[in-house]
Amino acid sequence: MLGVRLSEREEDEIKKFVDMGLYLSASEFIRDSVRKNITSLKTVKIRNVSKITAKKEILEYMKSHKEAYASDIVEELGLDIELVFSILKELNKEGAVE
């Protein structure tokens, strides 16, 4: 079982979908979203770039997007998911991202 931390805005959006009857519960919404995301990530073409290049690209991406998930970065930039997580952890430690 995995624990997930969501922003208040995200929780409110999920509750709206549940209240509208589109999902039976928040858990059902999250499971459905994860399945769709896994499927979409399988079709992403991954580019072979250095960690330094990837870090620069991620920083630029974050500057132009107020909020972004690792999966968004993977899709948009065509970067390996493990590389993205590694760089995001570094950037978080450096205080460059939250």
Structure tokens at 57: 């690209």
What are the boundaries of each domain within the chain?
A: 8-42, 51-94
Q: Is the pTM of this model over 0.75?
A: no
- Say how far apart CA 75 and CA 69 lie, in whole Å: 10
- Say how far apart CA 68 and CA 64 lie, in whole Å: 10
What does each of the 98 residues of the chain score in pLDDT, given as a tens digit? 778 888 999 999 999 999 999 999 999 999 999 988 887 766 668 899 999 999 999 999 999 987 888 888 998 899 999 999 999 999 989 988 77
Amino acid identity of residue 20, one-letter, is M
